[in-house]
Structure 1
Amino acid sequence: MLLKTGSRNVLHRYFHSYRNLAMTFEGNSRENLGSEEERMKNVFGGRIKGDPPRSSSRVLRGQSLKIAGVVVPPKPQEPDNCCMSGCVNCVWEIYNEDLREWKNKRKEASQKLKGTDTTWPADFDPPLNFLDLQNVPTKLKSMKIQLEKQKNRGTAALFPPREGSLPQSVINARRRRQMERQEMASKAKDEPENDEGWDDIPVFIRVFAEFEGKKKQARLNQELQG
């Protein structure tokens, strides 16, 4: 506190005494939080003292199956401990690569099954969009039929039948529309099932994985050019 006395500024300091306060640091004294390794595992994941790593979906993958001569890997599992810091080998980037390989192999095997009586294993994620009905497992045939009905269902069924002939302009427009649908259907068959495997994963995770893949490819291209 600063007090003014006469022509001089006199600084007076006042000291107050308080009673002692007890401070308590909560840690292992109140509850058993486990050993140092167990506490580290809760924070950093289970990669201590030989524990199996879980940062890559490739570690968790099961056995592959040979279907129509094509070795099809099992569906990859999502990684569980991404740090979201842009690692060189990001676990979501690895998952995205494994997912793309899984889809391509499933599609290749389903194409080779066409014209045969071989049935895709029911417990191995059958690609119903690519399989013919004869290659679909028995318990999934009704689902396959429902998918085909949804594809073939048009808007014409929503309106009552027309009385009389259609104008020529409408007929030409319907022909063009039919050709466009056939072209779009052929393109859809050639493209992999992009959304499968990302159903329960947030969109930003998928965007992050694709961005990391593009960034890695850009680095490789730069190294090759340099």
Structure 2
Amino acid sequence: MTEPATAPTGTTGPTPSISVAALQEQAAAAGLALRPPPTEPTTCCGRGCNGCVWEGYWSALDWWREETLDLLGKQRLEGSNGNKAGTGKAS
């Protein structure tokens, strides 16, 4: 049996799954549909390779977070302007 890959040592902050779950909850509460977040890698060898699968994952996750935060921000802005969320129409 193979052990799942773990994030490289030295990483700090909340784990990706917690951040992803929090953003997904916010989007669901706002009625927004999101594309799925990137999947955590399972093939890291732990040798610090140039172009490690974790580098690609963190890059994709950053892009997903930025896109999600942008959607949430636009939805909040529309809501504060008296528009129905996501429709662009006044209520």
TM-score, normalised to structure 1, is: 0.20
Q: Which has the higher contact order (CA 8 A, sep 6+)?
A: 2
TM-score (norm 2): 0.46
More strand by share: 1
Higher CA-based Rg:
1
